Amino acid sequence: MISDLRAAGAPADIAGDVCVVGTGPAGLTLAIELAGKGRRVVLLEAGGEGYEADTQELCKGAVKSGGHIDIADSRLRQFGGTSGHWTGLCAPLDPVDFEPRSGSPHHGWPIRRADLDPFYLRAQSYLDLGPSRYGWTDLVSVGAPLPLDPARVETVIHQQSPPTRYAEKFLETARAAAKIDCWLHANLVDLTLADGSDRVENVTVATLDGVRTRVTAKAFVIACGAIENARILLNARSQRPAGIGNEHGVVGRYFTDHMTILTSLVLLNEGVDAKIYCEPFSVDGANLELALRLHPDVIKREGLNNNHAFLNARYDDALYSDDFRNYGWTSFAAMLKAFSHGRAPDRLAERYCDVMDDVGGVTTGVYRHVMRRFRPPDQPRAFAFRQDAEQAPNPDSRVTLAEEKDRLGLNRATLDWRIAADDFLKLRRTHELIGAAIGAAGLGRIRLEIPEKPEPGLAYSGYHHMGTTRMHADPTKGVVDADCRVHSVKNLYMAGSSVFTTGGASHPTLTIVALAIRLADHLAATA
Amino acid sequence: MALTRRLLLGSAGVAALGAAIYGGSRAACSFVPRNHPDFFSLLDIVPDDAAARRLGRLAIEAGLAPDGLSALGEKLAEGPLVRAAIAEPCPTTRAELLRDGCAADFAQNRFVTLDGWVLSETEATLCAAKLLAGAA
């Protein structure tokens, strides 16, 4: 059932077994799983069914960073959350991501990859990924895998989601579910602990026009994205002066993102076929994309961060250049897709103006897409590495509260995304080692393009905000325990990529969904 | 000029004499010691361009390659495949042996990074040799 807190007659109190705040891939997955297990879920969404500028404005905050990052527009504060504009690439985190790493004191989760494996399998269907084929080895049946020494460099498989929009896929599910009591325009503004206790008694939600409601439950889960999750805890200061869960000053710290960089030149010898690394292909209904990664023993031995390097073909023919891709093209593609499905796109005026601002780019894109059908490309020999590279966890990279308050009276967030020179140099070394493996196989050569004295501006955010309520066995080094429960509060849980201890080299959504399913199993057994 | 018997015999004689001089010279020269590095045969494979010379200069400046032709020759001859390439008269086989030698360098972590290029030590050494040989 879906209701609107702004409607007349909204109740002053709402009750359920579990209160889930946020309807993105974490919150909605959790609610559906819990409802399926017979638990009464109160599901709270700050926005409406679609994009609303006044609600979205609540995400705004300040950014301090040498890199290129956004705090507000990359999130969607609406039903379905940021799944409304994610790109859909998925892969589980690698086993090495969960392990401690020499020379990097903050690496290491309190769980292992094997703990997540069954939940990764269950997450596949939420994201319409088809069967799990991440471990598929029969690459020769679709092309020629590069004959690299597997003790040095491995081929890693990612799967592509359509991408699934949670609002499109699950809106009717939520509406029809008797066990889900979903409230729109319900912004979480406070958490109240029972007197003298370490349990949340209720949370207060409010609409922008001043309606306030109290929600009680046995357990509470906050699933609002890594920046909002931290902001909510840091703002909850009425009973805990530093904010709930922040007794050790860890909330908001260890913010990490993927460093999105297209760099380094790979030149393959004539006759070396790397086609299967350049184009997605389908196996058993799963859409796969291939990348290169260092063997985990090499990563551990060298003390590197993880990275999956995709090969981006560089063509001499401008027809195959994608330099027209900009906001204009993205908006044009979104409009085209929506109209082809017989509906109007959301944020139509904004998208239309994006296209108008970049008519030249969009025209070029249309022309090239049409012409590519008539003029197939030559076999590429030059490539760049495209990656969302891991950063080492850094406690100084953090979300804090700004002085400025939003319309609901909560302090806005300030994001200080730190990118250490060492993060770039480790990526440079990763490329160097992949280049050496390419040389050892007699396939070609690589030219490194990350300078020895890198500037933070080289990196763009992957828009994968992570780590601000990280999972750690030690309460002085993490906010939640291995069950995603806030260390200092018995019935408060965090969901989403804010609990990631490290970022790994995979896009986070699959792991977010897997962790949500795992948390649902845990809560169903305990709440 | 009319083609006469005398002219034909004379021409054949000159040709035979030339062949004898060339053959005899090659045979005699095989006993004469050379005073230039024998890896010169490999330098034909290195592109004769500014990029190769820049890489060679960087290799020497960074101390990754010795600054002298004979030392460079000794370094190149350390690898068995490159040694075989030096001795190989067939240009195609020589190039293949050199490629294999470079791959072996990478496999044994004998690589350097010059101007961003990740190169085998053999390649870097050859670029340095090309530079020095050109300047000699």
Q: Are the Cβ atoms of B106 and A445 closer than 8 angstroms? A: no
Structure tokens at B56: 């060679």
Q: Which of A149, A439, A442 sits opposite B111 (nearest CB)?
A: A439
Distance in angstroms (rounded) separating the CA atoms of residues A13 and A494: 23
The total number of structural domains that make up chain A = 1
Q: How far is B121 from chain A (nearest CA, A)?
A: 11
Query: CB of B100 within 8 Å of any CB in chain A?
Result: yes
Query: CB of A446 within 8 Å of any CB in chain B?
Result: yes
Range of the domain at A341: 316-375
- Asked whether residue A154 is domain-assigned, the answer is no
pTM summary value: 0.89
Q: What is the pLDDT along chain A (527 residues), one digit of tens a residue?
A: 999 999 988 899 999 999 999 999 999 999 999 999 999 999 999 999 999 999 999 999 999 987 789 898 899 999 999 999 999 999 999 999 999 998 899 999 999 999 999 999 999 999 999 999 999 888 888 888 999 999 999 999 999 999 999 999 999 999 999 999 999 999 999 999 998 789 999 999 999 999 999 999 999 999 999 999 999 999 999 999 999 999 999 999 999 999 999 999 999 999 999 999 998 999 999 999 999 999 999 999 999 999 999 999 988 788 888 888 888 888 888 888 888 888 888 788 888 888 888 888 889 999 999 988 888 888 888 999 999 999 999 999 999 999 999 999 999 999 999 999 999 999 999 999 999 999 999 999 999 999 999 998 898 999 999 999 999 999 999 999 999 999 999 999 999 999 999 999 999 999 999 999 999 999 999 87
Query: CB of A437 within 8 Å of any CB in chain B?
Result: yes
- Asked whether residue A349 is domain-assigned, the answer is yes
Interface A-B, measured as beta-carbon pairs within 8 A, has a size of 42
**Contact of A273 with A144, CB cutoff 8 Å:** yes
- Asked whether residue A133 is domain-assigned, the answer is no
CA nearest neighbour of A126 among A86, A183, A176:
A86
Query: CB of B131 within 8 Å of any CB in chain A?
Result: no
Q: How far is A267 from chain B (nearest CA, A)?
A: 11
Q: Which of B115, B116, B118 sits opposite A439 (nearest CB)?
A: B118
Q: What is the pLDDT along chain B (136 residues), one digit of tens a residue?
A: 678 888 999 999 999 999 998 888 878 877 766 554 456 667 777 877 888 899 999 999 999 888 888 888 888 888 899 988 888 888 888 889 999 999 999 999 999 999 999 999 999 999 998 898 876 5
- Collect all residues of chain A within an 8 Å Cβ-Cβ radius of residue B106: 436-437, 439-440
Nearest Cα residue in chain A from B98: A442
Report the b/e string of A178-216 with b at 16+ CB within 10 A: ebbbbbbbbbbbbbbbeeeeeebebbebbbbeebebbbb
